[in-house]
């Protein structure tokens, strides 16, 4: 067989002469074509309406209608089919006009020659296949274009939705961040209200840890945990008696065994309070372990060396500098001296590298109103019982200023607590 798809090579032959029709049918079938033959144009038209043909061949002179009339009807019903007219009497001008109008594909003169007939039919079948393929390609292209337009529209909608969702997510994240910072601020205010010295120390620790967190030696998550933990590490102390906290700040060596035991639990209290927020689990661990020592003699769990979480190591150094009862230069010497004992050596090195020694937080201590002396610099402003600001923060005191302060009606000057820079 010449053709792999017989339907595409279906051929209709119309001739009112039975002998001519039989000769043409047998000639084409020997070449592998599927041939349907008719002697009546009306019967042939019914076949064209019911079946698809690649090529339609018609004689011109027939009783019911001419071949051109028949092929014109076929063109209306199957425009892609190749139409061939066979006649011996039609004028050249009529044939040329029929070809130009697209009514016929080829013209064969009678008597037809076998080789010419086969060549013409083969060209007609190939032409039909090309027209069908091109039409299908055009339809597929149009369908793909429509799908592409629809896909692009859908994609644009999805991109727009994604952009809107991204904006909403950014706004939500910003709101969450603002709320989180507000929560940290509230916690800090609670600490400061409970004990002003703790508030001042917390601010100093936050300042140092913020500088340490800028180092590329810390992973981003470790840096973030360190910064948050620096705000909250004192949170557990608000569950202790205030007098005990004051005693531990002023003279930690004077604590008895019971007091020492209570103090050693405050990191655990702080972790518990931080754990109420789900995403603060790592922060809670940094709070719990900020009193652990490199040599394993710390509390509450006696961790040592690399078992201490990285944020807790750096937090411990910052707290050690701020809380030691020493001037800044001596405090730095103390931190270096304790490297490899109380503090992780790498944490000490990063502290020294990250801290601008001239910008380290000032040391503060708590005194009573009666202990004020000329030359002291206030770490926090002094207010009258009615809330009037008497002396602002960072003011260096003189004898006259101290006398003026003491003239105000304080309930108990011996217990009124003030903070000054060391």
Neighbour tally for 177: CB within 10 Å = 10
pLDDT of amino acid 198: 80
CA distance 124 to 132: 12
pLDDT of amino acid 6: 41
Q: How many residues does the chain have?
A: 422
pLDDT of amino acid 4: 39
Of the candidates 11, 79, 83, 4, the one whose C-alpha atom is nearest the C-alpha of residue 47 is 11
* Unique residue bearing structure tokens 């409970």: 194
> What tens-digit pLDDT sequence spans the chain (422 residues)?
343 344 447 999 999 999 999 999 999 999 999 999 999 999 999 999 999 999 999 998 888 888 888 998 999 999 999 999 988 766 667 667 666 665 788 888 888 899 999 999 999 999 999 998 998 999 888 888 888 888 888 888 888 877 776 676 665 555 555 556 666 777 777 777 777 778 788 888 888 888 888 888 888 888 888 888 888 888 888 878 888 877 777 777 788 888 888 888 888 888 887 776 556 778 888 888 888 889 888 888 888 888 899 888 899 988 888 888 777 778 888 888 888 888 998 888 888 887 654 455 555 656 666 666 776 666 666 666 555 666 666 667 777 776 766 666 554 444 455 655 55
Strand partners, 368: 417
Q: Where are the beta strands (DSSP E) in 50-91?
A: 55-59, 82-87
CA distance 126 to 25: 19
Q: pTM of the prediction? A: 0.52
Q: How far is CA 138 from CA 54, 128, 143, 147, 152, in A?
A: 19, 15, 8, 14, 20
Neighbour tally for 129: CB within 10 Å = 17
DSSP, residue by residue, 369-399: GGG--TT-BBSS-EE-TTS-EEE-TTPBP-H
Going by the DSSP 8-state scheme, the letter that residue 113 receives in this structure is P
pLDDT of amino acid 267: 87
């Amino acid at each position: 067989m010449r053709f792999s798809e017989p339907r595409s090579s279906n051929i209709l032959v119309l001739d009112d002469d039975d002998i001519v029709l039989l000769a043409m049918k047998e000639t084409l079938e020997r070449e592998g074509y599927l041939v349907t033959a008719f002697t009546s144009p009306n019967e042939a038209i019914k076949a064209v309406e019911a079946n698809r043909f690649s090529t339609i061949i018609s004689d011109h002179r027939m009783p019911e209608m001419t071949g051109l009339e028949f092929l014109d009807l076929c063109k209306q019903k199957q425009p892609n089919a190749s139409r061939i007219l066979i006649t011996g009497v039609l004028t050249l001008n009529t044939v040329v006009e029929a070809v130009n109008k697209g009514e016929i594909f080829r013209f064969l003169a009678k008597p037809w020659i076998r080789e010419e007939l086969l060549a013409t039919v083969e060209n007609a079948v190939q032409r039909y296949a090309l027209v069908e393929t091109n039409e299908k390609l055009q339809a597929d292209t149009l369908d793909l274009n429509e799908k592409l337009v629809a896909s692009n529209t859908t994609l644009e909608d999805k991109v727009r939705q994604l952009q809107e969702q991204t904006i909403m997510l950014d706004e939500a994240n910003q709101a969450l961040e603002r709320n989180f910072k507000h929560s940290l601020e509230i916690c800090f205010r609670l600490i400061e209200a409970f004990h002003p010295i703790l508030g001042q120390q917390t601010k100093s620790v936050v300042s140092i840890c913020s500088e340490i967190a800028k180092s590329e030696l810390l992973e981003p998550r470790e840096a973030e945990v360190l910064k948050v933990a620096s705000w909250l590490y004192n949170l557990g102390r608000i569950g202790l008696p205030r007098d005990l906290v004051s005693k531990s700040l002023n003279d930690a060596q004077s604590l008895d065994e019971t007091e020492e035991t209570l103090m050693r639990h405050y990191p655990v209290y702080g972790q518990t309070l931080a754990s109420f927020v789900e995403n603060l689990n790592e922060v809670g661990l940094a709070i719990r372990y900020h009193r652990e020592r490199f040599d394993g003699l710390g509390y509450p769990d006696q961790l040592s060396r690399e078992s201490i979480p990285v944020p807790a190591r750096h937090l411990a150094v910052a707290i050690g500098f701020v809380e030691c009862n020493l001037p800044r230069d001596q405090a730095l010497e103390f931190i270096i001296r304790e490297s490899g004992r109380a503090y992780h050596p790498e944490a000490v090195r990063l502290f020294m590298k990250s801290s601008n020694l001239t910008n380290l937080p000032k040391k503060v201590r708590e005194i009573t109103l009666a202990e004020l002396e000329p030359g002291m610099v206030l770490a926090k402003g002094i207010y009258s019982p009615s809330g009037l600001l008497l002396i602002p923060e960072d003011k260096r005191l003189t004898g006259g200023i101290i006398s003026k302060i003491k003239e105000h009606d304080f309930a108990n000057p011996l217990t009124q607590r003030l903070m000054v820079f060391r």
